[in-house]
Structure 1
Amino acid sequence: MSAPTYASTIFQHWSKFHQQRELDQISPLIIPADFSNYILLIVYLVLMRKLPRLSKVPVFLAIVTLSGLSLRSSRTLGVAYGVIVGISSSVCVFLSANLLFLHEPAVDLKRMITSNSNTNHAGDSKGEDKQWQNMPSSAYERLFWVLDLLGSLRALHWSHGQRQNHTPAARLARHPMQTPSLLWTICKLLLIYLFTDLLKEIIAMDPYFWGYTEHDPPDYIKSFLPLPALVQVYRMLVAFATFYIALDLDYTLSILLFANILGPSVAGTWGQEWAYRPLYGNLDSAATRGLQGWWGAWWHQCFRFILTAPTNAIIDKLRIRKRGVLARTLGVVIAFLISGAIHACGSYTAWGQTRPINAFTFFALQPVGIALQIIGSWGLSRLNLMNKTPRQIRRATNIAFAVIWLLLTFPLLADDFAKGGLWLTEPFPISVLQILGLGSQARSGELGFDYGLHFQRGSSWWQTGLVV
C-alpha cells in the first residue's frame, strides 16, 4: 500500500479546506463570532440577577444552537485546531448546563482570595489567610468574577474545586508551594520544544500519523520492532507522548505568563504561588488503584467540574449515599460518557475520514476496564489471595492491567485523530533538528505556516474578525 508524502498529505488538507470554503460547505473559524456561545453565557451570568429564572431555558437553547452551528460548519486551516472547534463547542454546552441548571452560581460557587492579593473584595472571612467571595453585586466586578469562573478549569481557588483536589486551596494558601522561577520555566519550555521537535520528526517519517493507519511502518522501525504488536505499542506510545507534551506545553506557558511575568499584583489569584500545582498527579496512584487511579488521580483534572456535576446533581436529587457503590459507579460512568461525547465532537470537526463513534467508544470502555479490575480484586480477596500476595507484586499487577487496557483501547482514539490530521500540525515555525541537519527529508520541504491569525473584514458583522 503506497502513501503520499508527509508534505503532500498536508497540502491535500489545505486544498480540501479551500475547496470546501469556496463551495460554502464550511466557514473558517472567526473570532469572536464563533465564540458567541461563550459570550452569551458570560453576558447571562453577569446579568442573571436582573433576569427572570425562566430566561435560563431560552438562553441555554440559544447556546446549544450556536454551538451546533459551529460544530456543523466552522473549520480551521490548521488541521489540529479543527479538533479544538468541536471540543470547545461541546464544552460550552456542558458548562452552560452545569451553571444554568445544576448550580446556582450566585449561591453555590465562591472563589477564594488570599491576603497576598492587592485587590480588596467583600467576602465571608473564614480565616486570616483567605476570603471567600460570592458573586459580587457590582456588574463590573461580577464580569471578572465570571471570567475567572469560566477560565479556571482546575478550580483550585473555587469552592467547588475543594471537593475535587486532594489538597484544598486554603491549605495551599497557608503553606504555598514554591512557584517555578522564570529561569526554571524557560528551561522547561526549552526541553518541551526540543522533545516536541523530536516527536515531529518521528511523526513525519511514519505514514500512520499522516492518517494512513493501515500502512506498513518505515524500514527503520521494522529493523528493531519486527512484530506488528510491537509496532502498535510503539505508535501508541508516540501518540500518547504527543498528547502529554501538548497539554504540558499549554500549562507551562500559563505559568510563564501569569506567575512568572504578571504575578499576583496583575493576575490576582492566577498569579499566586499555590495556583500551579503539577498538571499531572502522582503516578503511584496507578500502582495502588490501577486504571481507576490512572484516570482519577494521575491524569489531568481540567474538566472535572464538567464531568462530575451531573452525577452530584443526581445523587442529591435521589438522595443516594455519596460514598456508596451506586454513587461511585454513576460518577465513573457519567464522567467517561461526557468525556467521550466531548472528544467525539473534536473528532467530528477534524479533517479527514474520522469516525467520532470511535473516540466516544474509547472513553466508554474505560469504566468497563475499571469494573473488571475491581471485580478481579474482589474475587482475589474472597479467595484470601490478596493478603498472601506481596505488595510489590500487587502494585506491578495494577500498573500492568492499566497499561494493557489502555494499549488495547487507545488505538480507537489515536487512529481516529490520525485520520483527522491531528498529528500533522507543525507547532513551531523553526525546527532545531532541521537546522542542525539531523531532521528527516519529510519536513525539509517548503510547507509554509498558513495557520496563523488573519483579520478578515466580511460583508456582515459575523464574518468580520480574526480567522484561524
Structure 2
Amino acid sequence: MADHSFVRYEQILLDTRNRLHSLIQRGDAKPWLLWHALLPMVLPFVALLIPQRKGGLFLRPLLFFATVSIIVEIILYRRALLGANGYMVGLIMAWWLVWSSTLLFFNDVEHDFRRIERIQPVVGKGRTGQNGPSNGEKLRSDMVPADFNSLIWQPYPQSFLHRLGWTLALLLNLRGPDFNFRIPSLDPLPLQLASKHHQTASKNSYPSVRTRLCTAAVWFFVSYLAIDILKLILILDPYFFGAVSAPAPYPFNCLSAVPGLVQTYRYLASGLGVYFALQFVTPLNPLFFLGLATTFPSAAQALTATPLDATWLYTDQFGPFTAILDQGLAGAWSTWWHQMFRFGFISTAKWIISFLPQGISSRRSIRRIITTLVAFSISGMIHALGSYTQLGDTRPLGPFLFFFLQAVGVFVQDTCSRILVSLLTRQRVPPTRWLRRVGNGLFALGWLLLTGRLIADDFAKGGLWLTEPLPVSFVRGLMGRGWLCWRTAWFEYYDDGTFWGSGVRLR
C-alpha cells in the first residue's frame, strides 16, 4: 500500500510539472517571474516615499493603478508550481491589492501613523544621533530622549533617508507591532510609550530574550516534525490529491464504520496542515531578527531605528486556545487564529462604513455587522483567488463561501447564545462558566466541520498538498524513501523575447 502511494504521489508531481510546461508551451498560461512578484510591492513603496505636498497626491493614484494592472495580469495569466501548486500566486497578489489600498487610500499615513523608534542622545544643537530626527526635523515635547535607549513615536519622516526605513517597515509590518495601528492581540507596550490608545506594561512583564528565542525554536522544530508526519499521512491518502470520494487508507479505514468520521479526520488533517505550516514559518521572525539584534546590537542599531532587540515586538502568531471556549466561533477567528490580515480588513470595512449615512454608521451593531461581513468576504476573496491560480480542478466559490459562512456562524451563535442565556436566566438557572465553554467549543468545532468541506476539498483538488515545505524529511528518510525533498530548482532564467516576459522565473 505504501509503495503504491509513493509511486502515485511521484507520478502526480511529474504530471503537474508536465501540465504547467504544456500550458506555457501552448500559450494558455505564462510563467510567473520574480520581478513580476516584486513590482506590485515596489510601486506602493515608491508611492509612500513621496510626500503628498511634493507630488505624492497625484503620483499615488497612478502608481496604484499600475499596481492593480500588474496584479490583475498576474492572477489571470501567470502560473507557477512554487507556493502550493500556484496557490500563493493568487493569494499574495490579492492580499497585496488589499494592503496597498489600505496604506494608500483607506488611511492617511502621513498624518495618522507613528512608528516606534529608538533614538540616541543629542550630540549637537538641533541634531541627534544616527537614529534620531535630523535634517531639520524637530523633536516634539513627547520625543525628547531620556537616555540612550529612549523610544519615541516617530511620525512620517521629513528626511528622505529616514523615510526609506520608516516606509519599508510600514509596508512589511502587517500586524503593526512597531506602529500605532498595532492590532490589540499583540503584547502591551513599555511604560515609556504610554498612550490612551495602547495597553502598556512594565518591563518585567515581558518574556526574556532567551525565553522568546527558546519558544520560537521549540515551535519551529515541533512544527517541522508535525509537518513531516502529516505529509506522510497525506501521501498515503488519495483524497489529498484530488480523489475526494476515495475510501480512507489503512489505518484510517476503520473510521468508515461511523458515518462522517472519515470526513472529520480529513478536515482536521487539512486544518492541522495549514496551522503547522504557519507555525513553522512565523518563528523565523524572532529567530532571525531578535537573534541577530541581540548577537550584534551595534549593527542592528546602525541598520534600523526599530528596537529589534525588544521582545514585545515578537508576539506569538496565534492567540490562546481558550479564546474559542470563551467566545466561540468569533474567538476562534478574531483571537486564536493568526491576525496578519486584521488591520487591512478593518480598514476596508471602515472605508465602506464612511459612505453610509451618519444615522446608520453611528450604530455600533451596524458597524459590527458590516465589519464582520467585510472581513470574512475579503478573506474569502483572497483565498478564492489563491484557488483560481492553482493548476488543479478547483472551484474558487468554495473557499469564498467557507469564509463568508464563518460570518454567518458568528451571527448565528451570538443570536442563539443570547436567546438561550435569556431563557435559562428567566428559569433561574443561569449557565455556569464551564457550560458556556463547552457550548462555545462544540459550536465552533461543529460549524467548522460543517463548512470545512468547501475549502478542504478545494485544497485537495487544487494540489495544495503537493508542496514540499521541508528540505529534508526524517520520516521518509527512515522509511527508505529518501531524505531530500527539494529535488528541483526553484528558479530558472526565462526569456520569451520581450521585456515583460524575460527574467528569473519562479518555477
Q: TM-score, normalised by structure 2?
A: 0.84
> Does residue 405 of the first structure (1) align with residue 447 of the second (2)?
yes
Q: How many residues align?
A: 463
1:84 alignment partner in structure 2: 88
Separation of aligned partners in 2, 1:446 and 1:151: 32
> Does residue 37 of the first structure (1) align with residue 35 of the second (2)?
no
* Residues 76-126 of structure 1, C-alpha deviations (whole Å, 9 max, x = no match): 123605111111111121112222221111111111124699952336536
- Structure 1 window deviating more from structure 2 (190-199 vs 222-231): it is 222-231
* Residues 392-420 of structure 1, C-alpha deviations (whole Å, 9 max, x = no match): 11110011000000011122111111111
* Counterpart residue identity of residue 82, structure 1: G
Partners of 2:110 and 2:155 within 8 A in 1: yes
> Does residue 121 of the first structure (1) align with residue 132 of the second (2)?
yes
Partners of 1:173 and 1:274 within 8 A in 2: no
Partners of 1:29 and 1:74 within 8 A in 2: yes
Q: How is 1:176-195 mapped onto 2 (pairs within 5 angstroms)?
A: 176-179=206-209, 180=211, 182=213, 185-195=216-226
**Percent of aligned pairs with the same residue?**
31
1:62 alignment partner in structure 2: 66
Higher RCO (CA-CA < 8 Å; seq separation 6+): 1
Partners of 1:339 and 1:363 within 8 A in 2: yes
Q: How is 1:416-435 mapped onto 2 (pairs within 5 angstroms)?
A: 416-435=458-477
SS at match of 2:157: coil
Separation of aligned partners in 1, 2:452 and 2:130: 46
Question: 1:355–1:451: structure 2 CA closer, same or farther, 3 Å change rule?
Answer: farther
Q: How is 1:385-404 mapped onto 2 (pairs within 5 angstroms)?
A: 385=425, 388-404=430-446
Partners of 2:85 and 2:463 within 8 A in 1: no
2:97 alignment partner in structure 1: 93
Task: Return the offset for 1:359.
Answer: 0.6
SS at match of 1:433: helix
SS at match of 1:32: helix
Partners of 2:219 and 2:279 within 8 A in 1: no
- Structure 1 window deviating more from structure 2 (444-453 vs 235-244): it is 444-453
Separation of aligned partners in 2, 1:39 and 1:158: 20
Q: How is 1:361-380 mapped onto 2 (pairs within 5 angstroms)?
A: 361-380=401-420
1:301 alignment partner in structure 2: 339
**Among residues 365, 372, 395, which one is paired with 1:325 in the alignment?**
365
Q: How is 1:69-468 mapped onto 2 (pairs within 5 angstroms)?
A: 69-78=73-82, 80=84, 82-114=86-118, 120-122=131-133, 124=140, 125=142, 129-161=150-182, 165=186, 167-168=188-189, 170=193, 171=200, 174=203, 175-179=205-209, 180=211, 182=213, 185-263=216-294, 265=298, 266=300, 268-316=306-354, 318=356, 319=358, 324-385=364-425, 388-437=430-479, 449-456=487-494, 459-462=497-500, 463-468=502-507
Bigger Cα Rg: 2
Separation of aligned partners in 1, 2:162 and 2:202: 23
Question: 1:457–1:138: structure 2 CA closer, same or farther, 3 Å change rule?
Answer: farther
Separation of aligned partners in 2, 1:54 and 1:80: 38
Separation of aligned partners in 1, 2:151 and 2:362: 28
Separation of aligned partners in 1, 2:405 and 2:318: 22
* Counterpart residue identity of residue 235, structure 2: A
* Residues 169-224 of structure 1, C-alpha deviations (whole Å, 9 max, x = no match): 74268453323465554444222221111011000000011111111111321125
* Residues 351-389 of structure 1, C-alpha deviations (whole Å, 9 max, x = no match): 201111111000100111011111111112332448522
SS at match of 2:175: coil
SS at match of 1:28: strand
Separation of aligned partners in 2, 1:382 and 1:181: 44
* Counterpart residue identity of residue 506, structure 2: V
How well do the aligned residues superpose, as a CA RMSD in angstroms? 2.8
SS at match of 1:389: coil
Q: TM-score, normalised by structure 1?
A: 0.90
Separation of aligned partners in 1, 2:247 and 2:240: 12
SS at match of 1:219: coil
Partners of 1:113 and 1:130 within 8 A in 2: yes
* Residues 313-372 of structure 1, C-alpha deviations (whole Å, 9 max, x = no match): 344554466671111111111111111111111111112011111110001001110111
Separation of aligned partners in 2, 1:445 and 1:277: 33
Partners of 2:267 and 2:453 within 8 A in 1: yes
Partners of 1:322 and 1:328 within 8 A in 2: no
Separation of aligned partners in 2, 1:300 and 1:451: 31
